[in-house]
Amino acid sequence: MSIRHGLLALLERGPRYGSQLRTEFESRTGSTWPLNVGQVYTTLSRLERDGLVAQDGEDDQGHALYSISDAGRTELRAWFETPVDRTNPPRDELAIKLAMAVGAPGVDIRAVIQAQRHHTVKAMQDYTRLKAQSLGQAPANRDEVAWLLVVEQLIFQAEAEARWLDHCESRLIRLAEAAATEPEPGPPPGAAARTAGRSRTRR
Amino acid sequence: MSLHVPSPAAPPLTVDAPVLELRSLTRTHGTGIAEVHALRGISLSVYAGELVAVMGPSGSGKSTLLTLAGGLDTASGGQVIIEGQDISTLGRKGLAALRRRSVGYVFQDYNLIPALTAAENIALPRELDGVSVRKARKEARAALEEMNLLEIADRFPDEMSGGQQQRVAIARALVGDRRLVLADEPTGALDSETGEAVLALLRNRCDQGAAGVMVTHEPRYAAWADRVVFLRDGSIVDQTLTAGADSLLAAGGAE
């Protein structure tokens, strides 16, 4: 839904044509999530079908312009006012991978964690260079400020992942240490009772 | 998702000798059954212009590495070479002189002298090194000016924010010709934005030719480094490299 609402947000600033919307969406988000023009026009026609935008003549160069309708403005306001839903999180490949790695034969889970940590920290180094470059030029307009927020979101998200990996590792170490200091487990309780029963019978 | 990530700065100089070189460094505490291996053969080279972050869980040897690198503690084995000099061959006085001349420390709790102003704090190590008071203070003000901190030159530490104190500590660490800065959790006590300003400054000093080693447990700050070294149980288990640094590795510049 973010493309749909993203386009509505851009149209609220005045009528625009398709490829202009694409360019503006990408400069806001630093091309983090590139759009193709086809996606833009498909989205525009759905928005038009739903009465949220309307075709609004042409500019001097013959580009078909779209503008936001009152219903579109209401929809946009509702989007800004409604939190993004986190109650139904998308599948996370890394969480699934670690869950499967616990106790998997032949898998060194600490090596899995370190390989991911390496990759995540490396990505953070890349994002941080992007951010330093952006800060070095002092964000001058709203597109640059918006892009800075997006790149910082990437950094914070990667940081959360790196911290979670640290946590997983220390938890696994603690559990392994606890397991090592526990006395040798005896036979399961049922088995013990059965054995005891048998020996009593023998006696 | 597709990002046009800028290439990292050119890899550190491959012709110059490293500013700091650790060779098979070990540190053992206690003996017999109580023996603890804090470091188990660390080899690491840090070049001018490079900032290296050291990460690892508590007890992995991060702080030991830093104290040995700065000659604050003595290794059980291996060598610490600072600007070409094996510090184990220097006497106590020689080591103190090398530390004053070549090494700057940045600590989590800033360690500024409360009775001295920002400029005096920065000037002090230079004065101890025999530079005239006048010249040392002039250098200190120049360092503060370069870091846009001249307005706090005459403030005492208790009149500065944590972020300002830490920036003064970085200026102090790198005043004069000192090219090696060792930072132990330099952002530990700072809020996110101030911590970042401190990191940006450290990054900037390294871009201007200093070599830096920073111990941190914060991935967000480690990400400002050219290279992130991961320690575990006293050994380097992994490190991220900047593009182009592989040639350095091939040349045996780092472990």
Structure tokens at A202: 């023998």
B64 — pLDDT class (breaks 50, 70, 90)? very high
Range of the domain at A150: 93-181
The reply to whether A174 falls in a domain is yes
Q: Rounded to the nearest 10 degrees, what angle do helices A18-29 and A37-49 cross at? A: 110
The beta-carbon neighbor of B3 closest among A117, A120, A130 is A130
Shared domain for A100 and A159, answered yes or no, is yes
Is domain B20-111+177-250 given the CATH code 3.40.50.300 in the classification?
yes
Q: How far is CA A125 from CA A196, B14, B56, B208, in A?
A: 62, 22, 17, 19
Which residues does chain A have within 8 Å of residue B218's beta carbon, measured at their own beta carbons?
159
With respect to residue A203, please indicate whether it lies within any of the assigned structural domains: no
Asked if residue A70 is part of any domain, the answer here is: yes
Average predicted confidence (pLDDT) for chain B: 87
Token pair listed for B6: 């800028």
CB contact under 8 A, A32 and B3: yes
CA distance A70 to chain B (A): 32
CA B250 to chain A, closest CA, distance in angstroms equals: 20
Asked if residue A152 and residue A126 are part of one domain, the reply reads yes
Domain assignment present for residue A39? The answer is yes
Q: Could you tell me the two tokens for B232?
A: 């575990």
| Judgement on whether residues A101 and A77 belong to the same structural domain of the protein | no
Is residue A191 in a domain?
no
CB–CB of B220 and A155 under 8 A? yes
In terms of DSSP H, where are the helices of chain B?
62-69, 92-102, 118-128, 133-146, 162-173, 192-207, 219-222, 246-250
Same domain, A157 and A117: yes
Judging contacts by C-beta atoms under 8 Å, the chain A residues touching residue B200 are 132, 135
Q: Are residues A74 and A17 in the same domain?
A: yes
Looking up residue A64, the CATH number of its domain turns out to be 1.10.10.10
How does the average pLDDT of chain A come out, rounded? Answer: 87
HSE value, Cβ hemisphere, 13 Å, CA-based, for A17: 10
Its ipTM equals 0.78
Q: Are residues A135 and A115 part of one domain?
A: yes
User: How many structural domains does chain A have?
Assistant: 2
- Smallest CA-to-CA distance from B222 within A23, A158, A186 is with A158
Mean pLDDT to the nearest integer, A159-167: 95
- How many pairs of residues across A and B have Cβ atoms under 8 Å apart? 70
Q: Are A113 and A68 contained in the same domain?
A: no
Segments making up each domain of chain B, as ranges: 20-111+177-250
User: Which of A81, A114, A136 is the endpoint of a domain?
Assistant: A81
Lowest model confidence (mean pLDDT) among A93-97, A148-152, B119-123, B147-151: B147-151
Minimal Cβ distance to B219: which of A33, A154, A159: A159
Q: Do B219 and A120 touch (CB under 8 A)?
A: yes
Residues B160-217: tens digit of each pLDDT: 998 899 889 988 888 877 889 999 998 887 888 888 888 888 898 899 899 999 999 8
Of A144, A156, A138, A153, the residue nearest A30 (C-alpha): A144
Q: Nearest-CA distance from B41 to chain A in Å?
A: 20
Q: Are residues A50 and A119 in the same domain?
A: no
Tell whether A132 and A58 lie within a shared domain.
no
Same domain for A75 and A103, yes or no, is no
Name the range with the highest mean pLDDT among A138-142, A172-176, B115-119, B205-209.
Answer: B115-119
Domain identity same for A97 and A171: yes
Chain B residues with beta carbon closer than 8 angstroms to that of A155: 220, 223
Are A130 and A164 in the same domain? yes
Query: Of B1, B220, B223, which is closest to A33 when you measure between CB atoms?
Result: B1
